[in-house]
């Protein structure tokens, strides 16, 4: 089943118009919700960000947060007791192609679920990343459909044998193509502050709460690539990658070359939050 403009429908009932502004302008926003064992994770945080993005690009929808929660929950129930994602996209609607906002277009909403296993092996061993210049626009805090710069950077990373690309703007690390970047130095976690250069990631928010609960110093402070390369630990956070250790940057080993103590502590806390881990000290 899929969610189409407020209704659960079959795949063959959906018809996307070639005049949809999301198709020819990328005029819309989206969210990706994680599903663990059939349950949506951090729904309220995702919806708060979704409505913020809608306000930023001036799209008004006929559904409120409570109604959307009901729709998304119903859609997730059709997915079953599996791990996966729920993708939700809202465009400005169908209208003749013009850069001006249409006067009468109605927003178009589409949602669907698909299976997505947790990246368990990578979470244990860590991943390699490369660094690239951040060539995106100046409103990265909006979860916009316009992701061409992100996809180009991610493709370049893949062709270099890396899992992600860490982006650099004006000498400072902003984020990665689809994740936030954090480093640990002398026991303190550092990450770029919220603003127009990064998306306020949901998993990033969870990690900040976990750090504070564990008494780990956490600073929203930008850092350079050189500082990142000298970090004791590095990890990225996202809905799909969770708390993902980074062990190699541009071919250079990070710290000891294995996931660090603080990274593992946060991973354990995250797993407890999603109902997978034992009590502290039992793993």
| Whether the Cβ atoms of residue 203 and residue 227 lie closer than 8 Å to each other | no
Angstrom distance (rounded) from CA 236 to CA 224: 16
Token pair recorded at residue 242: 């969770």
Whether 82 is a known active-site residue: answer no
HSE, side-chain direction, 13 A CA sphere, residue 281: 0
Q: Could you tell me if residue 234 is left (phi over 0), alpha (psi between -120 and 50 degrees) or otherwise beta? A: beta
Choose the catalytic residue: 143, 212, 241, 273.
143
**245-249: which pairs have CB atoms within 8 A and are 24 or more residues apart?**
245/123, 245/125, 245/126, 245/127, 246/126, 246/127, 246/128, 246/129, 246/164, 247/125, 247/126, 247/127, 247/128, 248/126, 248/127, 248/128, 248/129, 248/162, 249/128, 249/129, 249/130, 249/131, 249/166
Report the catalytic residues: 143
């Amino acid at each position: 089943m899929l969610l189409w403009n407020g209704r659960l429908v079959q795949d063959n009932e959906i018809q996307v118009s070639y005049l949809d502004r999301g198709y020819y302008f990328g005029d819309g926003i989206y969210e990706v919700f994680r599903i663990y064992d059939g349950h949506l994770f951090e729904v309220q945080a995702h919806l708060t960000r979704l409505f913020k993005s809608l306000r930023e690009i001036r799209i008004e929808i006929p559904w409120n947060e409570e109604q959307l929660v009901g729709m998304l929950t119903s859609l997730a129930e059709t997915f079953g007791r599996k791990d996966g994602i729920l993708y939700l996209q809202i465009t400005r609607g169908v209208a003749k192609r013009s850069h001006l906002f249409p006067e009468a277009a109605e927003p178009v909403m589409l949602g669907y679920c698909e299976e997505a296993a947790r990246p368990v092996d990578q979470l244990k061993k860590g991943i390699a990343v490369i660094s690239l210049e951040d060539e995106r626009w100046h409103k990265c805090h909006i979860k916009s459909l316009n992701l061409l710069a992100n996809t180009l950077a991610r493709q370049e990373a893949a062709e270099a044998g890396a899992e992600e690309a860490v982006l650099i703007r004006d000498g400072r690390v902003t984020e990665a193509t689809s994740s936030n970047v954090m480093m640990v130095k002398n026991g303190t976690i550092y990450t770029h502050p919220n603003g127009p250069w990064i998306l306020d990631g949901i998993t990033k928010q969870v990690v900040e709460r976990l750090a504070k609960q564990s008494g780990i110093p956490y600073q929203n402070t930008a850092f350079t690539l050189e500082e990142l390369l000298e970090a004791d630990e590095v990890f990225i956070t996202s809905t799909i990658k969770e708390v993902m250790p980074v062990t190699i940057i541009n071919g250079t080993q990070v710290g000891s070359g294995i996931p660090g103590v603080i990274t593992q502590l946060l991973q354990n806390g995250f797993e407890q939050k999603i109902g997978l881990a034992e009590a502290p000290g039992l793993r």
